[in-house]
Structure 1
Amino acid sequence: MKIQSVGVIGAGTMGIGVAQNLAQTGHQVTLIDISEQILERAQVEIRHGLRLQNFFATRAGNTTEILARINFSTDYQLLDQAEFVVENATEKWDIKQNIYHQIDRICPPKTIFAANTSAISITRFAGNTNRPDKVIGMHFMNPVPIKPMVELIRGYHTSDTTIETAQEFLTQMGKDSIVVNDAPGFVTNRVMMLTINEAIFILQEGTASVSEIDRLFKGCFGHKMGPLETADLIGLDTILYSIEVLYDSFNDGKYRPCPLLKKMVDAGLHGRKNGRGFYNYSQTAKVKQTVKVA
């Protein structure tokens, strides 16, 4: 049975991608965020994303029809009929915790909650609801509409039925999935965050430049993007939040955030999302340029 009504919380990069993908696959979506300004920007970004897909890849579908399937709102109460909710809020526990308290009161008991998180324990989310068996981790990759694989995370209480429903839901979105057990960072980010953090240490130490580090990974390992390009795509603030969660969770010095990463986040260099990270993505730049970060 196809899931029809889906709530998507958070209209940042990941939430926008999830909402777009769902609308493209025929789902009715309610996209929730805290302000109309954020939601207006999300609508512009989705329209832009659809145009890019139509231009570079297979047809994304009719833009007007796809956008008509998304209800942009600040009202959580509109989730009272949602069959599935995907939460994509920023990686800060106090913000996420408050969201789960809200949706647990509003959504029907049968509604499944999927946490699209980089590192926070799924079992911790479940403990803040009255439906721990219906809480699952659903770690999408960016950009969501064109990435075929999703990391599914089974929390301590997640039921087999929830796993099966989540897998079917992802199939409806055109995704494959692999189920892993709950642990901070799961599989992908536990490895990726270490790689990115270490690459930033290498940059800080002056061993190689931004472009040299990325070219080595692409040329030697066949990666489509180097670790610093990947950091810009994810968002340096998200990288920092995630590595801090790993550091706190494992109490292991190998997850100590690089001071240069902290400095860049403090300076507002968050990557693609605001135009400057390890590279300059501003519209005034004729080509992507590395940014002085030392």
Structure 2
Amino acid sequence: MTAIDTSLAADRAAPPRLHRSLTEPREIKNLLLSGLTWVVALAAAVPLISVLVMLIGTGGARLGLELFTELPPAGFELGGGFGNAILGTLVMVALASVVSIPLGILAAVYLAEIGPDSRLAGTTRFVAKVLTGFPSILAGVFVYAAVVLTMGRYSALAGGLALAVLMLPTVILTAAEAMAMVPRKMKDAALGMGCTHSQMIWQVVLPTALPGILTGVMLAVARVAGESAPLLFTALFSNYWLTSLGEPTASLSILIYNFSSMPFDNQIELAWAASLVLVLIVLLFNITSRLIGRPKV
């Protein structure tokens, strides 16, 4: 065997070099960009962390059972709570979900499976995308003109409908995208086994796309839970417990708006506590959406 053959054999037998040199231009560029990404991420997290720290430090001091069981206090009164505002918020979000989720899923079925290439589907997608950036106060004005003026009074029902207008485009787009991601082979297999098109949709497409649909629903709920502008025109506010959907009702966002501008320390402290509770509710919905949408191992 010649010296050249011996050298080639040694090169083949030698293990590859897997370590990276910090002096290589590519490695320097990678370190600089990674460091810049961390700096930008930390800078973006500063406002969020500062708000959370302020809410926990200021609003957490007032957390207690009375906040969830008592009514808002009057001007010079001490103590009190905002149990009616929590109840009103949950009721209106529930009403919005009852209206928007079925309509949104049915519209998504049409967009994804029944007529995905039709002119109506294209128009619906365009309108839904426009509505995702729709100013929330305009939704309140629309429901005010359509419902409040017709009924002659503010109500929790009108507030729920205003929130449903804001939820609907998010539910439609996320549900349609989740259904479109169902593999074509699963749909063809169902049809090949003798299923009708409707059976394929209800027994194959919807169950498979359910995690994505639920994620979109939770994100839509988290978005509207903290809305205040549409509720000013529809549900207004109340210092009493909700007893009927046809009467004005309190909400956390409007309570924060009202109490934060008052010259009384007790009301300002309650506004901070209500802000913390509202943030925790929205955070709960976001965490739930993440858990639901997490891929199963």
| Greater RCO, CA 8 A, separation 6+ | 2
TM-score, normalised to structure 1, is 0.26
Q: Greater Rg, structure 1 or structure 2?
A: 2
Higher helix proportion: 2
TM-score, normalised to structure 2, is 0.26
